[in-house]
Structure 1
Amino acid sequence: MSRNATFWERRRAAVQAEEEAAVVAQQEAADAEHQQALAERSDEDILSELGLPHPDTLTKGDDFAAFMVKAVPEHLRKRALRKLWRSDPVLACVDGLNDYDDDYLTGSFNNAPIKTNYQVGKGLLEHVLDTMRPDEAATPIALDKEDILAEDAPREDPVELEEASAPDTPTVLAEAPDHSKPRRMVFYFDGGST
């Protein structure tokens, strides 16, 4: 079980973190000054001082690790790495196993985004609201027995059909469920409901 650090332990840790941050800041300042001084000199002078060959003369099998030292300026390091990638085709070969290599626009049309009903933060809310709205088609309709039987028969003029048929016992379709009220679950136990 871990215990809470005391005030003095937290204070010592904060002082140590401040000292480490000061050392890192001094090192970064020294590196920036060194890089600035190297930027003013020519590439040939820097390479001769460090004892490195020119990056453009390197071939497959040469030692590129010498260019990864902090003393080498960033632009020379990048030139050496570019030469390394071009020198060996195995290093430049993309294997296709990187997630960022996938083209996620392949399913779209003319590289346009795919249109969906999804709304950020709301999901498919509009679709749910459409199903919850009362629909004119969902209202009960009274049908006669003859109307149901006459569906297979050839169609006649609807006005004549209405006049000819008298409603004996209308058949009512099932009503659509009422979604305006929230549904509640009811549990029944031995004697009653709760």
Structure 2
Amino acid sequence: MTEDFWTRRKAQVAAEAQAVAIEEHAAPEPDFSEMSDAEVLAALELPDPDQLVAGDDIKGFMLKNVPDHLRRRALRKLWRLNPVLANVDGLVDYGQDFTDNAMVVDGLQTAYQVGKGMMAHLEKLTGSTTLLESDEAAEEEISDAAIALVEAETLALDPVESVAEAAVETSAPPRRRMRFDIAQEAAV
């Protein structure tokens, strides 16, 4: 029964969509390219976009069959009338267009280096390259000493104990079996 309902519902939706498509194609769309703006506005029963005042509805200008230039005129008028749309505040973070190719400078160099930041620029200002080299040498000495200490500790371990521990760790735990006596519970 549910299959029949959904099959019928799917057929109804398809029929409705087909009826809407037929209505759209059946209505002849007038050719507004040869008409003046006043004639187009009269044919579509719309007011002159330049005569709109605050609070007027511009939904009619957003319809599909309205020519694009009339739609834009209505939107421009709306943006001039509404102070919220007309006066964008200067606090918009990404309000400017940074994709302007005319503003790109050829051969632009930056002091920023990935992973180092502005380090090269600061080194030139302070002359601290020798300080960095001495820090790197000290780090290498510390790391060599740490490696030697770890190697000494590893050799100091008793190899017999470590092998015995490894053997204990690799043995598998005993398997567990569960038994259920269903017959006894059913009899009770």
Flag whether TM exceeds 0.5 (same fold): no
Q: TM-score, normalised by structure 2?
A: 0.41
Looking at secondary structure, tell me which structure has more helix per residue: 2
Q: TM-score, normalised by structure 1?
A: 0.40
- Higher RCO (C-alpha 8 Å, min separation 6): 1
